[in-house]
Structure 1
Amino acid sequence: MGSISSYETAAGKRYRVRYRKPDHAQTDKRGFRTKRQAEEFLSSVEVSKLRGEWVDPSRSRITVAEWAQPWYDAQLQLKATTLSGYRYTLDKHVLPTWGAVRLSDIGHADVQAWVTVLSKTLAASTVRQIYLVLAGLAKYAVRDGRLSRNPCDGVQLPRVVKKHRGYLSHAQVRQLADGCGEYTDVVLFLAYTGLRWGEMAALRVGRLDMLRRRINVAQAVSPARGQLVWSTPKSHSSRSVPFPEFLSELLALRCGGKSRDDLVFLGPDGGVLRSGNFRRRSFASAVFACKSVDSDFPDLSPHDLRHTAASLAVSSGANVKAVQRMLGHASAAMTLDVYADLFDDDLDAVAAALNIGATESVVSKVRAKAEILPLT
């Protein structure tokens, strides 16, 4: 148990609390104006030690800016593009507000007020990403024993309104592809395989099985702070994706004269085909041209062709598990969550099947009853 003693200062009597840390090292805290304040502090120390929640005040005095780098360096599980986004968010939004603030001084209400201000000018999804960086930084401090609790827990976040997805029909895919000139096959490939852009851009000739019409997706490439980063696919695991027969000839043309280690799709400079360049040079104008003649043609990006691939697969009769494997989702539950709207027609099929089952049951019962009735 600790002790309380008084001492004199120029401003009058003050009280000092002496106590032992969990490691039995003795320390003290001075400056209490009343003995009651000192007693309350000592009681809180003893209770927090018993609960295993005690935090050394000296360790929580580190500022957010000082703690941000150790937290950032510890994110070994993240891909380079995600880390790049975290770095941008730290520098752009988190550190300008919280950099000089000590960890111990981060208040729940202060975090809520910050999120509320951000929500007035930024999209809900952006605000959530910014919040997650500060929350993750604080969570790491809790695990390291610098905070007893995460002040970001329970903060109310803006609701994300689900964006309407524009799925293309077969005819619209062909219309868009024809408008992309020399990159017609890129549009067709993305719309009928569901590969992410980085997976397509990293695809090498040796990963194509032309006989089985399979793509071995084992690598991805993406820009991170101006540099191309080669890594595994988003799910960190390879997968085999089928492609329709009509793509065989287009892919054969792309692979002609190349070695197994060469990239299938190349940019104008002979290097990696970059999404931003492709969108500016070909895709955006092709979408505009399609919209000018087809009022139902949706706004979309190259990445949205992945959604079209899911839509076309479902409409062709593919089940959830097959779509999950094609897209490389972590689980079928994730596929259902992302593309729940594509399976709305399945609800009608369920109702129809239940109706048939119930009707057949009633008919069978009536027939059975008729068979046992005595003849008159």
Structure 2
Amino acid sequence: MAGSVTPYSTSQGKRYRVRYRKPDHTQTDKRGFKTKREAELFLASVTVSKAAGDYIDPALARVSVGDLAPLWLRSKLVLKPSSSKPLEGAWGVHVAERWGDREISTIVPSEVQVWVSELAGRRSPSVVIRAHGVLAGILDMAVTDRRLPRNPARGVKLPRKTGKLNRVYLSHDQVHTLAGLSAHPTLVLCLAYTGIRWGEATALRVRHINFLRRRLNVEENAVKVGAIIHLGTTKGHERRSVPYPELLSAGLAEQCADKGPTQLVFGGGTFHMKSPDSVDGWFVNTVRRAQQANPDFPFLTPHDLRHTAASLAISSGANVKAVQRMLGHASAAMTLDTYGDLFDDDLEMVAAKMQEAAREASIGKSWAINLAQQMSSGSKCS
């Protein structure tokens, strides 16, 4: 027998109970159905799910989001600290208060959508997307563990991230002006002419520089999380070899002087340089001095020098694959998505070269036709 439906009395009136056996043959029941038909439909759905192997034990769904959160967060410790720490922060600040005590079986998609929309009204898209990702990730784990048949947090509409609208690209003259005013000129030039990230630059060791080939072997990344600098692999976990122009050679050699192969290139050699304070650090003060000398000098951050490197490489004739490899992007599509506007001039160049090629082909064709006509005319005369 698949199960049974029986009535019982409550202070609110007649209700129905469904009794059935779970796949492990233990008996359970579910109460509270207002009509016999509702109870029979539930029993039928249980019977079908057991036959299909999709049965979810309701008892396993009687846990709160907060009960599952520690396990999910521990599973994220395999990530770099720069990735796992923000997830812990998002849970503590945005997710726990709203969902921590909620039983996972009671959450419905419309509630999640309202929460996302309300959060988007006061926080940035990045914060909202991360907070939603924490809740959705916990419920994904519940689905995988067969506590839920589906994830109610998936499929909701999220705010769209918007890229930096006014990206800064310095000219060669502006780069050298900035470096000349800086306490760390070689570091500024390195960021602006190689496009490596701040953490990659400050993790460079003497052994990572090939002075003969003028290459930087980018293998490590130093990221500040809270007050601690964590050393790990590069973004994307892939090493890359980045060329640098000869103008950097003397400065890099000076930085490496009297240092061993494993010592750091920038700074004293032992401790990683910390990213400069954005309010009163050496970099922002350098920018201010540049602006005092030239009011048109743009405001920028150290990361904007990475954008500058892309711009200078593209303007020098580098194709998208070369820029992708230099910057360490996962794909050429990512490079185009980020710097597509810089390739607009390339399109004009392509058109100009096609015009030139067509003109040369037309001239050659006209010359051949004229020669053939002259030869034909000469043979008739003879």
CA distance in 2, matches of 1:362, 1:142: 67
| Residue of structure 2 equivalent to 1:72 | 73
CA distance in structure 2 between the aligned counterparts of 1:143 and 1:276, rounded to whole angstroms: 43
Structure 1 pair 59–252 and aligned structure 2 pair: CA distance change class (3 A) = same
1:351 is displaced (CA, Å) by 2.8
Q: CA deviation at 1:153?
A: 2.0
Map Cα deviations across residues 10-67 of structure 1 (whole Å, 9 max, x no partner).
5554322122334444321123232122112212323444555432222222111111
- Name the structure 1 match of 2:176: 174
- In structure 1, the residue matched to 2:133 is 132
Cα displacement (A) at 1:333 = 1.9
Q: 1:8: Cα distance to partner?
A: 4.1
Partner of residue 334, structure 2:
334
Give the counterpart letter for 2:6 in structure 1.
Answer: S
Structure 2: segments with no counterpart, 5+ residues: none
Q: How far did 1:234 drift? A: 0.9
* Secondary structure, aligned partner of 1:85: helix
Shift of 1:367: 7.1
SS of equivalent residue, structure 1 residue 127: helix
RMSD: 2.6
Deviations 1:54-112 (A, max 9, x none): 32222222111111111111125521101111111111111121111121222211111
Name the SS for the 1:192 alignment partner. helix
Q: Is the 8 A contact 1:6 1:16 kept in 2?
A: yes
- How many angstroms apart in 2 are the aligned matches of 1:130 and 1:41? 34
Aligned amino acid, residue 335 of structure 1 = T
What are the residue-to-residue correspondences of 1:1-376 with 2, within 5 Å? 1-9=2-10, 12-50=13-51, 52-163=53-164, 164-181=166-183, 183-266=184-267, 271-277=271-277, 280-356=280-356
Percent identity, please.
49
Structure 1 stretch 194-203 or stretch 119-128: which is displaced more? 119-128
Q: Secondary structure at the match of 1:275?
A: coil
The amino acid across from 1:173 in the alignment is V
CA contact (8 A) 1:64 1:100 kept: yes
| CA deviation after TM superposition for structure 1 residue 275, in Å | 0.6
What 5-or-longer segments of structure 1 have no aligned partner? none
Pick closer, same or farther for the CA change 1:321–1:287 going to 2, 3 Å: same
CA 1:261–1:20: 2 relative to 1, 3 Å = same
Q: Compared with structure 1, are the counterparts of its residues 188 and 36 closer, same or farther at alpha carbon in structure 2 (3 Å cutoff)?
A: same
In 1, are the aligned partners of 2:77 and 2:84 still within 8 Å (CA)? no
Aligned residues: 374
Alignment deviations for residues 329-355 of structure 1 (CA, whole Å, 9 cap, x no partner):
122222222221221112222333444
8 Å contact from structure 1 (residues 202, 272) kept in 2: yes
Residues 28, 304 of structure 1: alpha-carbon distance in 2 compared, 3 angstrom cutoff = same
- CA contact under 8 A between 2:264 and 2:270: conserved in structure 1? no
Give the TM-score normalised by structure 1. 0.90
Amino acid at match of 1:81: S
Higher mean alpha-carbon deviation, 8-17 vs 57-66, is at 8-17
**Alpha-carbon distance between aligned partners in 2 of 1:367 and 1:95, rounded to the nearest angstrom:** 80
Question: Kindly tell me: are residues 32 and 198 of structure 1, through their superposed partners in 2, closer, same or farther at Cα, counting changes over 3 Å?
Answer: same
| C-alpha contact 2:3 2:21 (8 A) present in aligned 1 | yes
Distance 1:293 1:166, change over 3 A: same
Please give the TM-score of this superposition, normalised by the length of structure 2.
0.88
Shift of 1:224: 2.2
Query: Which has the greater radius of gyration?
Result: 2
Q: 2: CA distance between counterparts of 1:79 and 1:118?
A: 26
CA contact (8 A) 2:219 2:240 kept: yes
